[in-house]
């Protein structure tokens, strides 16, 4: 290939390259314009969408503002409710604190009560302590009934030393002897059967058949112990040693539960005791009995005072009759004296003065006598029917 051909080929190649470049540039320009148009359309669409969304947001904001304005009272109310709830929460916290303190105090008191109960139960297992407890309870019931020691009742007196006791009275010493009207006495003896009852009270598993059966056996033993005390009191025959006393001795049980448990286990115990002349009583029933005794004393005192007043009235009436008789006798004596005085005046005027006038030269002024008023000289007589009888002691 020669140089001309090479030049021609190079020029042709260059021309083809320029044409292709121009064509490619035009294609690229048209593609850029199309892309720009598409981007413009897309931007316009996004602008329109944003404008619509903005309008929607404005409408929504306006509606939200209206809703907030309508909900303003509710917000104020909710604020007040919140404050009230906060106050309630503070009060609840304070109350919870107080309740916790009280629960702690209750736990401490419960622990102390348990310790005291255990100590008391241990003390009551001693027969001497039980006896002293029964005597103290009996004294408190007597004092609650308004009775005075050594006046209305005697503690542990000797039967032989009581007034009205029979010659064969023993030196037995019941716990209390209560004075009754007309020199009578009521004997009270305190009994405290406690061992079996205390052990039965400690059994709480009532669902356990073995524990329930053991509890029933203990309560039966408690009832038998109380029945034994009844028989022992009946054998002492206190009413036979105190003349005029009721055929009854009061057996005081210092706890309602002790007596109720025995009577519930042994329904025939009360009838058996009353048939033997023994009255089992708890504090409430004994208080009622003693109040009845106080009422009898009051009635007896009123009756005695009324009898004394009646006797005094009769004596006074009889003595008034005697005085009336003496007054009548004095009146008759005064009437007789007036009659004698009148006779004396008549005799002086009709007899003595006539004779004395026969003497001349006498001073007649010396014979003047004061005249007696007839109204004052009359004796007043009794007119009452009770005083007209002739009663002279």
Close Cβ partners of 256 (under 8 Å, ≥ 6 residues apart): 282, 283, 284
Q: How many of the other CB atoms lie within 10 Å of CB of 165?
A: 18
Model pLDDT, residue 90: 87
Q: Residue 189 forms beta bridges with which residues?
A: 251
Question: How would you classify the pairing of strands 278-281 and 249-252?
Answer: parallel
Model pLDDT, residue 392: 41
Model pLDDT, residue 123: 56
| Listed residue (129, 277, 255, 248) closest to 184, CA to CA | 248
Model pLDDT, residue 117: 66
Residue 101 parent element (H or E)? helix 72-124
Q: Residue 179 in 3-state DSSP?
A: strand
Dihedral (CA of 323, 324, 328, 334) sign: positive
Q: What is the DSSP string of 17-36?
A: HHHHHHHHHHHHHHHHHHHH
Contact 316, 308 (CB under 8 A): no
- C-alpha 347/C-alpha 380 separation (Å) is 26
Model pLDDT, residue 393: 40
Model pLDDT, residue 364: 56
- C-alpha 245/C-alpha 240 separation (Å) is 8
3-state class percentages of the chain: helix first, strand second, coil last, to nearest 5: 75, 5, 20
What is the separation of C-alpha 219 from the centre of its chain, rounded to a whole number of angstroms? 32
Model pLDDT, residue 55: 82
Torsion of CA 164, 168, 170, 175, to 10 degrees: -30
Q: Residue 168 in 3-state DSSP?
A: coil
Residue labelled with tokens 């009844």: 230
Q: Give the pLDDT means over successive 10-residue stretches in the chain (393 positions).
A: 67 73 71 75 82 82 77 79 86 86 86 72 63 82 78 78 70 81 81 77 72 84 88 84 80 85 88 90 86 72 73 82 81 82 78 70 58 62 63 42
The size of the chain, in residues, is 393
Q: Where do the structural domains in the chain lie, given as residue ranges?
A: 76-124, 127-281, 303-355+368-387
């Amino acid at each position: 290939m020669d140089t001309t051909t090479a030049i021609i080929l190079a020029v042709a190649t260059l021309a083809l390259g320029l044409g292709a470049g121009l064509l490619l540039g035009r294609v690229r320009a048209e593609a850029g314009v199309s892309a720009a148009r598409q981007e413009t359309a897309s931007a316009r669409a996004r602008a329109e969408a944003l404008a619509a969304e903005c309008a929607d947001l404005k409408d929504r904001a306006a509606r939200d503002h209206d809703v907030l304005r309508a909900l303003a009272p509710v917000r104020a109310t909710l604020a007040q409710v919140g404050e009230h709830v906060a106050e309630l929460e503070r009060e609840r916290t304070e109350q919870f604190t107080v309740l916790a303190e009280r629960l702690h105090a209750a736990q401490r008191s419960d622990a102390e009560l348990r310790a005291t109960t255990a100590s008391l139960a241990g003390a009551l297992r001693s027969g001497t302590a039980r006896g002293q407890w029964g005597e103290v309870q009996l004294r408190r019931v007597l004092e609650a009934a308004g009775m005075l020691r050594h006046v209305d009742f005697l503690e542990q007196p000797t039967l032989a030393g009581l007034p009205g006791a029979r010659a064969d009275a023993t030196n037995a010493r019941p716990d209390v002897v209560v004075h009754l009207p007309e020199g009578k006495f009521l004997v009270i003896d305190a009994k405290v059967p406690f061992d079996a009852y205390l052990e039965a009270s400690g059994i709480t598993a009532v669902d356990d058949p073995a524990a329930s059966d053991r509890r029933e056996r203990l309560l039966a033993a408690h009832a038998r112990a109380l029945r034994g005390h009844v028989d022992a009191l009946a054998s002492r025959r206190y009413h036979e040693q105190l003349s005029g006393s009721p055929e009854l001795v009061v057996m005081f049980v210092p706890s309602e539960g002790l007596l109720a448990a025995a009577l519930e286990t042994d329904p025939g115990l009360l009838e058996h005791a009353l048939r033997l002349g023994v009255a089992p009583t708890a504090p409430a029933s004994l208080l009622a009995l003693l109040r009845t005794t106080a009422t009898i004393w009051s009635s007896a005192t009123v009756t005695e005072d009324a009898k004394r007043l009646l006797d005094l009235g009769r004596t006074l009436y009889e003595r008034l009759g005697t005085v009336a008789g003496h007054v009548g006798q004095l009146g008759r004596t005064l009437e007789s004296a007036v009659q004698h005085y009148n006779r004396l005046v008549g005799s002086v005027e009709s007899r003595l003065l006539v004779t004395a006038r026969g003497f001349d030269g006498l001073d007649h002024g010396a014979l003047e006598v004061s005249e007696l008023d007839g109204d004052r000289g009359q004796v007043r007589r009794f007119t009452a029917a009770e005083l007209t009888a002739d009663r002279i002691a």
